[in-house]
Amino acid sequence: MADVNRPLSPHLQVYRPQITSMLSVVHRGTGVVLGVGTLLLAWWLIAAASGPEAYAQFNWFISGWIGRLILLGFTYSLFYHLCNGIRHLFWDIGAGFELAAVNATGWVVVIFSLGLTGLAWIAGYYMRGAL
Amino acid sequence: MSMQSPLGRVRGLGSAKNGTHHWWHQRLTALALIPLTLWFALSIVAMTGASHSAMLDWMNSPIVAGLMVLLLAAGFYHLKLGMQVVIEDYVHVEWQKITALIIVQFGCWALGLASIMAVVWVWTGG
């Protein structure tokens, strides 16, 4: 298996980039990002269970600019994976396979994931009293 | 040479009899995660900058604790299934592939259980 002398996946370099293939790559990418992001989720919940000091430490990290940048990546990945995941489930029941539909729903995913991320962050800043 | 038709072979699922469970479980957890993710996104927005006591108050509700446990269980299982596919697709050296699969498997169980226990710990009053 290790010495197979033929091209192996991911084959990204042999195809012209298209909306369909790019969104597919990003779906996997955001899935991996969310996987790494579960470290943050676990930290948040375990800190809450551990006590005020541990929770303050988490709050300090997530409020800093590095924490915010990571959280921004996490929220975008969450909304993207959610929107495109719904697109995948429609394909699984056999709907939306026509090329026009695949391209159109792809752009819907791009717009919705960006829009939902923007809304969530505006609401988050509003909750903090910054708006 | 087998006289079985391709369709018959697929329906019989070969000697293992469970060829589609990985695909099916990934879809089941995906379906469950749609409402859970929406709830989770609303929750983290609502809990932005919350104090420790506000966080404990929020987690003390059986609905919040229940939804959080469901999110963690479905989420970590979905993550384990998804990461497994990514690793199997892109890691072509056998020992590296096996090592990565074991790390993902152990990591998902450890993080998932620790998170669920934290939720239960708070809910039962520490």
ipTM of the complex, rounded to two decimals: 0.91
User: A13-27, A75-89, B97-111 — which is least confidently predicted?
Assistant: A13-27
Contacts of A31 in chain B (CB under 8 A): 79, 82-83, 86
The closest alpha carbon to B59, from A40, A128, A46, belongs to: A46
A38 contacts B27? CB cut-off 8 A: no
Number of residues that make up chain A: 131
Does residue A90 carry a pLDDT above 90?
Answer: yes
Cβ-contact A36, B104 below 8 angstroms? no
pLDDT of residue A5: 74
Structural domains of chain B sorted by starting position, each given as residue range(s) with its CATH number in brackets: 6-123 (1.20.1300.10)
Contact B27 A92 (CB under 8 A): yes
Between residues B6 and A52, the one the model is more confident about: A52
Confidence of residue B25 (pLDDT cuts 50, 70, 90): very high
For the stretch B27-67, pLDDT in tens is 999 999 999 999 999 999 999 989 999 999 999 999 999 99
User: Would you give the distance in Å from CA A109 to the centre of its chain?
Assistant: 12
Domains of chain A: 20-127 (1.20.1300.10)
What is the model's pLDDT at position B1? 61
